[in-house]
Amino acid sequence: MRHLMSPLDFSVEELDQLLDLAADIEKHPAKYAHACDGKKIATLFYEPSTRTRLSFETAMLNLGGSVIGFASASSSSAAKGESVSDTIRMISCYADICAMRHPKEGAPMVAAMKSSIPVINAGDGGHQHPTQTLTDLHTIRSLKGRLGNLTIGLCGDLKFGRTVHSLINALVRYENVKFVFISPDELRIPSYIREDVLNNNHIEYKEVERLEDAMPELDLLYMTRVQKERFFNEEDYVRLKDFYILDKAKMALAREDMLVLHPLPRVNEISVEVDDDPRAAYFKQVQYGVYARMALILTLLDIHVEEGE
């Protein structure tokens, strides 16, 4: 039995297989429509989510399975003081696989240690968000045709942004990937990622503050929102929340084939005037997320769909 806590839980070869499966699901959805007949996923979301929770639920329903779970800690027995360990032991009696979102870093790992069903980390604090990374990788590979030989700009909240941390961890394993980190000084990439992930793997990167300075060289721009829920100080959040706004003027500086991704939800960091630009891929990214999560569910449940099924 396998769990998914981090993008590094899969080798590059296993990731390629999973992304191949996601691509096949996209092309032949009917082939997989009954792959999980009789199976249940439990979505245990201790903090708010729209895309990730509904994406998991849609993925399981598309596979013919069913869904149980809760959408906030207040609507679960956590409000009565039940531990994550006890919750997962109980859920293991009901479901075949579980996706957990939790504000505390490491909570899904605690669940995995006590679970008798596969546990998927659907986001833990500011730490990891591996299924968003699978979504991002599938989006990039589908639209760019490759995961190597890319210059990737990451903009906004690089300190607390778990999607950013997970994506960097995944992409450093591909050839000739370069990063441009675009953030105010207060939201720079954490030192442990700079040292342990980038420097140790001899990855080329630079840090800039102005988005305009980075635009011309990028193959991909990954925008993030400044997350109010990660701040201890309201004044700091208000000061930084609109530090970057991607608009038509900035897009005019970019290459014709540059892609714009965003894990969503957005607030003000991408102007709605960019939505009609053919390079804006963030809503396509949402659809690719369903295929990636369908592939992940099948992989962790060890379900194989043969040709003609």
Of 224, 223, 228, 225, the closest CA to residue 238 belongs to 228
Q: Has 144 been annotated as catalytic?
A: no
Q: Has 304 been annotated as catalytic?
A: no
Distance of CA 23 to the CA centre of its chain: 17
Of 19, 85, 80, 84, the closest CA to residue 46 belongs to 84
Of 301, 288, 247, the closest CA to residue 143 belongs to 288
Q: Has 51 been annotated as catalytic?
A: yes
Spatial separation of the C-alpha atoms in residues 22 and 176, rounded to whole Å: 24
For the chain, give the number of residues.
Answer: 309
Catalytic residue among 3, 43, 52, 53: 52
Contact 303, 36 (CB under 8 A): yes
Q: Has 34 been annotated as catalytic?
A: no
| The token pair that represents 281 in the structure block | 């891929």
Spatial separation of the C-alpha atoms in residues 169 and 104, rounded to whole Å: 20
101's enclosing H/E stretch is: strand 97-102
Catalytic residue among 3, 127, 129, 241: 129
24's enclosing H/E stretch is: helix 12-27
- Burial code (b: 16+ CB inside 10 Å, e: under 16) for 183-203 equals bbeebebbeebbeebbeeeeb
Catalytic residue among 3, 101, 159, 162: 101
- Exposed, middle or buried, 123 (CB in 10 Å: 0-12/13-18/19+)? buried
Q: Has 163 been annotated as catalytic?
A: no
Catalytic residue among 2, 31, 39, 51: 51
Catalytic positions are 51-52, 80, 101, 129
